[in-house]
């Protein structure tokens, strides 16, 4: 069964619309047993997504999509930005994800938060990763006319860092006749997937819950770009980015010329990945930060701690 593993909410500010609870409501309506939310660089909607999904008995897949460079200390590399999606496999992910997002926000370069291989290597435990076409390193390298060998070298670095079992390719289910760039990337991804024995899954990347929300999404992007919806230069996507059911995904892939076997494998892989993502958040607990203090402070605490009264 098809599971949406890549999509955004209103917390991907002015790049997507739809509150997490509205996305879950639509997922319930469409019959999805699980759904991921991969907002860009932030986890502000994480708790809302988690609580809304559990309330509807839908499995929440926890996430972030984050800007990535090879080496944040290399000035030339920081100008070549690409997007990496991270999904949470287990409970270890939560602390690591907080550290990754915090690190990215602190390393604010070229007006965007970023991580690099050093950060990923340090906090990779409990995470699965994949890349998508438009903001991926693959597309950036293709656009710069770099060789397939160079692109393969970059991907091998990622696999070495994350572990082969934790890396996946995403096939984009959009009309390739309207989007030749997607066809170019999908073709290369399929070749690399075969050469490296990397599994592929399929997604249309949802950015709004329903088809009727498309115009509102365009309005949000226009606001972000300091334009109006009537400006002839405002962004108009040729892709369809509502939450799609499996039949819609299949139809698009068939029209793009992919075989039934390929499509079945990609859809099955969405369920396989979803099954591996079992992160949970223990709600309503009290968490206090641990601070390192001077020895004399500890001495005073030990002396008077029995006199302290802590009311719950």
244-253 pLDDT, tens digit per residue, is 999 999 999 9
User: What does the pLDDT look like over 125-162, one tens digit per residue?
Assistant: 888 998 766 667 777 777 677 788 888 888 888 899 99
Task: Read off the pLDDT of each residue in 220-247 and give the average, rounded to a whole number.
Answer: 92
The pLDDT-based confidence of 42 (bands split at 50, 70, 90) is confident
Residue 133's pLDDT is 66
Nearest-angstrom CA–CA distance, 164 and 160: 7
Range with the lowest mean pLDDT among 34-43, 81-90, 104-113, 221-230? 104-113
pTM of structure: 0.85
Structural domains of the chain, with CATH: 20-285 (3.20.20.140)
Task: Read off the pLDDT of each residue in 207-218 and give the average, rounded to a whole number.
Answer: 94
Assign residue 128 a region (left: φ > 0; alpha: ψ between -120 and 50; beta: otherwise). Answer: beta
Residue 134's pLDDT is 66
Residue 150's pLDDT is 83
How long a stretch of residues is the chain?
Answer: 312
pLDDT at 111 over 90: no
Residue 312's pLDDT is 55
Nearest-angstrom CA–CA distance, 144 and 8: 28
Nearest-angstrom CA–CA distance, 239 and 241: 6
- Map tokens 């597309």 to a residue: 139
pLDDT at 189 over 80: yes
Q: Which two tokens stand for residue 67?
A: 């800007």
């Amino acid at each position: 069964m098809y599971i949406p593993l890549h999509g955004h909410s209103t917390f991907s500010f002015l790049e997507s619309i739809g509150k997490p609870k509205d996305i879950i409501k639509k997922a319930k309506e469409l019959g999805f047993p699980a759904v991921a939310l991969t907002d860009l660089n932030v986890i502000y909607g994480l708790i809302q997504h988690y609580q809304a999904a559990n309330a509807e008995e839908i499995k929440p897949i926890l996430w972030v999509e984050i800007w990535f460079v090879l080496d944040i200390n290399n000035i030339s590399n920081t100008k070549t930005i690409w997007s990496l999606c991270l999904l949470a496999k287990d409970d270890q992910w939560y602390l690591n994800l907080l550290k990754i997002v915090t690190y990215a926000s602190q390393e604010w370069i070229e007006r965007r938060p970023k991580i690099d291989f050093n950060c990923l290597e340090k906090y990779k435990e409990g995470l699965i990763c994949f890349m998508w076409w438009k903001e991926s390193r693959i597309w950036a390298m293709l656009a710069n006319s770099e060789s397939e060998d160079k692109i393969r070298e970059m991907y091998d670095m990622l696999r070495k860092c994350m572990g082969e079992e934790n890396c996946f390719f995403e096939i984009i289910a959009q009309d390739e006749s309207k989007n030749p760039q997607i066809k170019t990337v999908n073709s290369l991804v399929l070749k690399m997937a075969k050469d490296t024995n990397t599994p592929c899954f399929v997604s249309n990347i949802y950015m709004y819950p329903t088809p009727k929300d498309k115009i509102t999404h365009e309005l949000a992007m226009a606001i972000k770009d300091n334009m109006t919806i009537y400006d002839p230069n405002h962004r108009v996507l040729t892709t369809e980015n509502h939450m799609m059911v499996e039949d819609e995904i299949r139809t698009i892939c068939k029209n793009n010329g992919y075989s039934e076997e390929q499509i079945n494998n990609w859809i099955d892989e969405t369920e396989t990945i979803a099954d591996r993502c079992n992160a949970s958040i223990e709600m309503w607990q009290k968490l206090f930060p641990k601070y390192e203090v001077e020895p004399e402070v500890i001495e005073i605490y030990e002396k008077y701690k029995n006199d302290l009264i802590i009311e719950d």
